[in-house]
A and B are shown apart, each in its own frame.
Chain A
């Protein structure tokens, strides 16, 4: 009877557990709000922080509206250029999320297809791919991303690089994270491959591609979802770190990391808001994604419960 309970649908079980975890619910709510805010930035932001004509240097370094010297026009204050910080944060979060999501999409598609193929076919392909993955894994993601970024600077000099920067960044982050997907997909495929439903399909003579896509893929989505959530947080973090280090997105389109870097320069002179608000946004975003990732991992791995 108990085992029959365990076999109840993953979907329903997920919902059941979710309804009992207020923290996960809160995280989902916050993440949804942030994502919605970021993607609606065009409409809800008071000003356009990318439009140089829309702000004035005279307005620079104004503290948040509720302080004595605050200005009602700028709820969270302004930066050194006179940009409205709230608008900059909304646009910055949009850029961070965009880079994070695209790079994760790239990493997952690449990693999962390589992983399933390696796991299913085994043999030499598997050995080579996994050796590459091992080597790359021994280099932490941030190092890989930095290296790829450095190479891109070497290959596309100057102005061309600035245009391509966001693409390069996305590819760099994606390439540094595909290994996690590949390893997870491979390990799960290994388990599934030896299950008898796959053997039944092989005996029939089904095409390997069909077996991988129709039979195996739906069965390994669980663990991949977990990596997806956890690595989304990592991707956002990587983008912020690279931008903070000044090798990420171009300065005229600040992401959260860029804003924090700019803010640090003013921290010592007491203009704390430029650092604090983007930092808080970033932390809240990553924490909520991480909480959801943790929830998924615990929920999909019954042994941890």
Chain B
């Protein structure tokens, strides 16, 4: 039986640039016990639909047309008081981040009992019993003992279970789950998804699952709606939409998804990103071209390599990066007065090598020490034992490393968050010119500008970008500017710390392609850090697996992905959504 039916729904926001249409003429329906996936990249309007269903659309957004029918009532016609009565009773919502969805000042018991008593007239004792039974159902061990704990005493995955118990305790018929597993590690994500699936089956609850992650959709959704820029692109049973997409956008989207089981040389059918609304001036730098940038880079790479060989000929055949017995220990936040506090050990006994032209993948869940490793290498964090060297030259711990250290130029880093990796108060030209000036690579202003315009074209950006500020670009474009900046340092080793995890899949594919091309062209070594195994599969020649600051396994990428040896690696591979239907 149809539970929810959305017809021709349009939501608009008045903004200072005029009316902005968040979603346009959306149709969608969900039956009892169905898990309906709502998937799309950022700006697709997924969350807006969830908010409309819950009646929690934030002003100044408004429903311009259409209706939302639930069990015969048009929700859009309800007054706020009646709508509020539906929430909890008929409608429930799971938020993205379990760390922030529970009130830190109240016990779990308190929050559960208040909610139960809000909707049913039961005594406190029986509400408490119900609450314990629910916690048990969602998989909290020792529910009776833990019910009086405060939220901060639960881990992230457990908190999300508590959140689900809170949603269930009033028996809603429809649950809106907005990115319910995005903030969780893969191994926990899988268990939460299984829990949601069981609930839908056993209780007959309809679930509207909003996510950007096709893997999540493939895992548990019965049907899926694909959105793009506020419009429905494709609807249908999950297997059909994912395995045999018909719309051009969906085809591109599916092709852009990295698969853990298959290594692609390049992603095909890249969805072109909308060009930024350009100022229509025909501003350009004469003589600038991608070829010029390529030429300059090659020439200078050779020049610098010859210099290096002349200085230290014995070292030239050494590995680009050798990490030996590395330990990083963070100093304690509150040094104890009474007992000796050694601080937190983020990494220990790390050994690996990285050779010219090689891509080494570093994988691990949050807290495994991946980012600490990157920071220790580039000198942002001090290591406390062991050694790091590059081309046979020692790289001291960050605070002892000279600012003029020769290796600083050769080690460059691409960061995770393209919104914070570029200084918003400087123009792209100023940002890109920094390495050229700092390392005295190009001295004349005109030459610099020509090179910068060229290098932008090399990373497939318009040269007009030089005159703009970073905030005028999308995440993917910024990431390409960041890559251009690193490239201008003429690095031997590029350290990429989750370079695509803040990006949409289609843009991720674009950036990964670019990285692959540049790596081929200039024979750089790359240390590629990611929590996403499927992405690492596409990039890495060899893989290092980290868990709790230690190396669990390292070896050839193909071997790791097909026949991992460590138990933990097997677990990681098993829990990652395989998307086997895409093969």
Contact = CB atoms under 8 A, between A and B. Distances in A.
The judgment on whether A and B are partners is yes
Contacts, number: 75
B43 A1 contact: yes
Contacts of A195: 420-421
A203 B423 contact: no
Nearest to A8: B471
A202 B399 CA distance: 11
B405 A196 contact: no
Contacts of A196: 415-417, 420-421
Nearest to A218: B425
B378 interface: yes
Nearest to A215: B423
A66 B478 CA distance: 67
A219 B409 CA distance: 25
B153 to A, nearest CB: 27
Contacts of B411: 203
Given A1-B20, A197-B421, A205 B403 contact: yes
A69 to B, nearest CB: 56
B415 A200 contact: yes
Contacts of B379: 202-203
A286 B574 CA distance: 66
A195 B408 CA distance: 19
Given A197-B420, A197-B422, A2 B489 contact: no
A32 interface: no
| Size class of the A contact interface (CB-based, 8 Å) | 20 to 34
Contact of A205 (B16, B17, B404, B423): B404
Interface in A71-118: none
A304 interface: no
Nearest to B377: A203
Interface in A179-218: 195-197, 199-207, 215, 218
A199 B415 contact: yes
A219 B424 contact: yes
A2 B13 contact: yes
A203 B15 contact: no
B391 interface: no
Interface string B312-349: 00000000000000000000000000000000000000
Interface residues of B, number: 41
Given A1-B20, A204-B408, A197 B423 contact: yes
Interface string A1-42: 111110111000100100000000000000000000000000
Contact of A4 (B421, B422, B474): B474
Contact of A199 (B20, B413, B474, B489): B413
A11 to B, nearest CB: 11
A8 B424 CA distance: 11
A202 B34 CA distance: 52
Contacts of B13: 2
B397 to A, nearest CB: 14
Given A201-B434, A203-B413, A204-B434, 14 more contacts: A1-B22, A1-B43, A5-B15, A5-B17, A5-B20, A8-B471, A195-B420, A195-B421, A196-B417, A200-B413, A204-B435, A204-B489, A205-B404, A218-B423
27 contacts: A1-B22, A1-B43, A1-B229, A2-B13, A2-B43, A3-B43, A5-B15, A7-B472, A8-B471, A9-B471, A13-B16, A16-B16, A196-B415, A196-B420, A197-B420, A197-B422, A199-B380, A200-B413, A202-B380, A203-B379, A203-B413, A204-B409, A204-B438, A204-B489, A205-B438, A218-B426, A219-B425
Interface of A: 1-5, 7-9, 13, 16, 195-197, 199-207, 215, 218-219
Interface of B: 13, 15-17, 20, 22, 42-43, 229, 378-380, 402-405, 408-409, 411-413, 415-417, 420-426, 434-435, 438, 469, 471-472, 474, 482, 485, 489
